[in-house]
Amino acid sequence: MTTSVPRVSGDEKPSLFAPGGGDLVQPDLESSRLHYYARYFGDPVSRLFWTEGRLQLGILPGYGRAFADLLNSGKLEDVFGERLMTRPEAAVTRGGFEKVYNLDCRARITYWHEWSPKMLRTATLRLLRLLHKLAGRGLTLRNPHPWNLLYDGSDFVYINPGSVVAFEGETFARGYEKIARFFIRPLVLIENGFAHMAHRLAADARDGAIAQDVAHLDCKWTEWAVDGGHHSVLPFLTQIASRIESFRCKIASQHWFDYFASDCDFGPGTSWTRKQEALEAILNDSSIGSVLDLGANTGHYARIAARRGREAMAADLDPALVDLAFDESQAENLLVYPVVLDFSHPTPGQGVDGRWLLPASDRLKADLVLCFALSHHMVFGRYRLDFEQVARGVRSFAHKWALVEYIERGKIVPSVFRPDADSWYQVGYLEAALSRHFPVVQCLPPANDGRRLLVCGLQWRTL
């Protein structure tokens, strides 16, 4: 039996025919009011959108039958089984779409330009493996834009099965160029010592890194120039994957690379022990389902939360540290989302009203935010924030609770960083600033090294 597969160019208007009977008919979906994922309001075949916290796939009229045939053909079973692509579930008929499927996809989103070099390499290899498997079946992806590849806390998964189409040379060439712009060329730049340039180019969701951006490097091997069928694609994808797998993804780290190995004392009464005890105590509250560790370093505290069954995010400015957090969480098979994030300049939204790609403060908001050994860097480092800005930043990520650490002035070296802060850099001022954004702020007694924890939340609690 021949399986029909949708064929569509980027601007083709779908033909209309009446949907088949027998399905449960749901209320109409008003397209203008749907919360579309990324830019899916303009897709001619399939549209991803959120309803009641679930990501759904809507197949437009004219393509539902072919898509159902593809799913029933069994061609994608091992792709779903390896979780290279999320499996559509429970099709229903709803007004405006021929079929609507639920997708097995967590709502937590991190974008490709927030991934560390090792994460980007792993994501690229997963995407190339998916393309290789599809090409072997005479299929390809119509829209492998990086917003379709998400990290689900354990691995990278492609979230739009509606993008699978019959293999055509032109379709593959267009799709591969997107992969080259947002994955392969940035990796080539990182491997050649241009990590900063790679990050800036990849963050451009429209253009990414074009061929001219890497013209000064020896990377002709990355270019697809064969005008052939899927059989010629297979060795090409194998070669690309082999080269990328050999990349070391080594980048220079900042000062805090061996922080937990050399600077931390978990002895009795130390601030490190106090922080861990406070975290463990607050996690006894079963209503706390998610934890965000800002300035996470290698993600030590995020992994504690993950071991307690919480969804955990480990955010740090240093990509080398996020690489380590990624390695550690993978080794323990923990539900941790490592993220490259600058607290003083978190990832902004993109598109109209910043809603096509959502800002980090929307996507990474958690029940509990950890701000350990971070606020003094925001005040005395190159950021020059004040306590009010720190408090607003912490609150922007917190649904309910936050643990914020205060380090006394005499412990900050060098002490000449910011003499103008001497008049207000005191724990009482930080407590007052946090109190303007949280209903309750408790300042715990100092540890034996003078550091203090401020417990910020919705009500008083004993730690």
Contact between 178 and 186 (Cβ < 8 Å): no
Q: Report which of 115, 131, 111, 242 is spatially closest to residue 179, judged by C-alpha positions.
A: 131
d(CA 326, CA 339): 9
d(CA 120, CA 167): 26
d(CA 102, CA 50): 10
Q: Report which of 15, 90, 23 is spatially closest to residue 60, judged by C-alpha positions.
A: 15
d(CA 400, CA 278): 15
d(CA 373, CA 98): 53
Assigned token pair, 250: 């080594």
Assigned token pair, 307: 């071991």
Please count the other Cβ atoms lying within 10 Å of the Cβ belonging to residue 161: 22
pLDDT at 269: 67
Residues in the chain: 463
d(CA 388, CA 407): 16
Contact between 401 and 439 (Cβ < 8 Å): no
Q: Report which of 151, 117, 149 is spatially closest to residue 244, judged by C-alpha positions.
A: 117
Assigned token pair, 141: 């992806």
Q: Cα separations (Å) of 312 from 29, 65, 392?
A: 33, 40, 21
pLDDT at 258: 61
Parallel, antiparallel, or unpaired for β 398-406 and 452-457?
Answer: antiparallel
- The amino acid present at 84, given as its one-letter code, is L
d(CA 264, CA 272): 7
Q: What is the DSSP string of 20-51?
A: PSSSPEEPP--GGGSEESTTGGG-SSEEEEEE
Q: Model pTM?
A: 0.89
pLDDT at 20: 35
Question: What are the 10-residue block averages of pLDDT along the chain, 463 residues in total?
Answer: 43 31 52 84 92 89 94 96 93 85 87 97 98 96 95 94 94 95 97 94 94 92 76 91 94 64 63 88 94 96 96 96 95 96 95 91 97 92 91 97 93 73 93 97 91 90 67
Q: What angle do CA 163, 114, 354 make, to 5 degrees?
A: 70
